[in-house]
C-alpha cells in the first residue's frame, strides 16, 4: 500500500480496559479506555476512551458505534439513543473523539486552537480508533461482528465516512448532518467562525474545485492510496471515500437549512455514494427537534440493513 495513505493500519489484539459503572436486569454500562495505535497522535493523548453499553440477553448482539460531533455537548443526543437501541438488542459503543475536550492536545482548551497539522493528526487517530473498536468487537464473544454499524453526527460523520470507506467490516452507517467536498463547505457555509479564516478569493476557490474534481476521477480509477493529492485535505474529505460506499447500506439524515454543510454539499456526497437521504426542515443544531422521527428512521434502517 502506498505511503500516501495516512490511515495505514494492521488489525491487532485490542487491549481494552472496561470498568463496570452500573447495571440492571436489561444492560451493563462500562467506561472504556484503550491505547491509541495510530502512527501519529497528540502528545499526552496515548489513551482513547469511550462508553460501552451491553444488553443482557442471550446470543450475540449487533454493535452500533456512536460518534459525536463538534463540542462535548454533541455526545448527548447519541446517549439519548442508547436505551432504545439496547431494548432492540443492539450493543452500543460511544467513542470520544480526539476532538473531545478530554483528549485534546496538551495546552489546548478548544478546537479553534488546533493547528492544521493537529486537525490532520486528529483524523488519523479517530479513524484508527474506530478500527480498533472493530478489532475489539471481533474478539468479544458477546458481539456479532458481522453486524457492526456506525451512527455518527457531523464531525463524527466525517470520520465515520472515511472509516467505512477504507474498512469493509462496517456493514451499515447512519450519517447525521454531513456533506462532502471540504473546499466547497468552507467556502459556502454561513458559520461566522469559519468565514474569514477559510474563504478564498473566488478564482482560487474555483481552481481548487477543478483540481479536486480531477483528483476524484483519478481516485476512482486508481484508488486514493495511489494518487498524490495536491492538497492534504483531500485525504480527510468524505467525498474522497464516497464511491467506496456504493451498494452498501448508508442512511444520511440532513437539515435543509444546515449552516455548516450547505445542502449542495450534502447532495454531492449523496450522489457520489448513492445512499438514502432523509432531510428535515431544520438548521444544523436544530435538527434535534425532529428527534422522534430521526430515531424512527434509524431504527427502520438498522432493522433492514442488519437483517439476517
Supply the DSSP string of 259-302, one letter for each residue: SSS-HHHHHHHHHHHT-EEEEESS-TGGGGGGHHHHHHHHHHHH
**pTM attached to this predicted model:** 0.95
pLDDT in tens, 34-79: 999 888 888 888 899 999 999 998 889 999 999 999 999 999 999 9
pLDDT for 83 beyond 50: yes
pLDDT for 194 beyond 80: no
For residues 162-199, b (16+ Cβ closer than 10 Å) or e, as one string? bbbbbbebbbbbbbbbbbbbbbbbbbbbeeeeeeeeee
213: left (phi over 0), alpha (psi -120 to 50) or beta: alpha
In this structure, whether the domain defined by 17-305 belongs to CATH 3.40.50.1820 is answered with: yes
Using CA atoms, how far residue 292 sits from 3, 21, 116, in Å, is: 45, 28, 37
pLDDT for 90 beyond 90: yes
pLDDT in tens, 221-280: 999 999 999 999 999 999 999 999 999 999 999 999 999 999 999 999 999 999 999 999
| Mean pLDDT within 21-40 | 93
C-alpha cell of residue 119: 486537525
Handedness of CA 33, 65, 161, 291 (dihedral sign): negative
pLDDT of amino acid 195: 62
Edge-to-edge strands of the sheet including 61-67?
17-23, 27-35, 47-55, 91-96, 61-67, 143-153, 172-176, 250-255, 276-280
DSSP string, 154-167: THHHHHHHHHHHH-
| Mean pLDDT within 81-99 | 96
In DSSP terms, 91 is beta-bridged to 63
pLDDT of amino acid 184: 96
pLDDT in tens, 127-166: 999 999 999 999 999 999 999 999 999 999 999 999 999 9
pLDDT grade, residue 1 (50/70/90)? very low
Residue scoring higher pLDDT (284 or 193): 284
Amino acid at each position: 500500500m502506498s505511503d500516501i495513505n495516512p490511515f495505514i493500519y494492521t488489525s491487532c489484539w485490542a487491549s481494552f480496559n472496561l470498568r463496570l459503572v452500573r447495571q440492571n436486569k436489561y444492560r451493563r454500562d462500562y467506561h472504556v479506555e484503550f491505547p491509541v495505535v495510530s502512527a501519529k497522535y497528540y502528545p499526552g493523548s496515548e489513551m482513547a476512551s469511550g462508553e460501552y453499553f451491553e444488553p443482557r440477553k442471550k446470543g450475540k448482539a449487533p454493535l452500533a458505534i456512536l460518534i459525536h460531533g463538534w463540542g462535548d455537548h454533541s455526545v448527548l443526543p447519541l446517549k439519548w439513543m442508547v436505551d432504545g437501541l439496547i431494548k432492540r438488542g443492539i450493543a452500543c459503543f460511544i467513542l470520544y473523539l480526539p476532538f473531545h475536550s478530554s483528549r485534546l492536545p496538551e495546552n489546548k482548551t478548544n478546537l479553534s486552537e488546533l493547528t492544521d497539522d493537529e486537525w490532520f493528526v486528529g483524523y488519523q487517530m479517530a479513524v484508527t480508533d474506530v478500527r480498533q473498536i472493530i478489532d475489539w468487537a471481533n474478539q468479544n464473544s458477546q458481539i456479532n461482528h458481522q453486524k457492526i454499524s456506525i451512527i455518527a453526527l457531523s464531525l463524527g460523520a466525517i470520520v465515520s465516512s472515511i472509516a467505512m470507506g477504507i474498512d469493509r467490516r462496517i456493514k451499515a452507517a447512519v450519517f447525521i448532518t454531513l456533506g462532502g467536498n471540504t473546499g466547497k463547505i468552507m467556502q459556502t457555509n454561513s458559520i461566522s467562525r469559519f468565514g474569514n479564516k477559510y474563504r478564498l478569493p473566488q478564482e482560487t476557490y474555483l481552481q481548487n474545485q477543478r483540481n479536486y474534481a480531477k483528483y476524484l476521477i483519478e481516485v476512482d480509477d486508481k484508488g486514493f492510496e495511489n494518487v498524490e493529492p495536491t492538497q492534504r485535505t483531500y485525504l480527510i474529505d468524505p467525498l474522497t471515500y464516497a464511491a467506496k460506499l456504493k451498494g452498501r447500506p448508508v442512511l444520511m439524515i440532513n437539515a435543509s437549512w444546515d449552516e455548516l454543510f450547505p445542502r449542495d454539499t450534502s447532495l454531492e456526497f449523496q450522489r457520489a455514494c448513492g445512499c438514502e437521504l432523509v432531510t428535515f426542515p431544520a438548521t444544523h443544531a436544530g435538527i434535534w427537534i425532529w428527534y422522534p422521527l430521526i430515531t424512527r428512521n434509524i431504527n427502520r434502517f438498522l432493522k433492514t440493513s442488519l437483517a439476517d
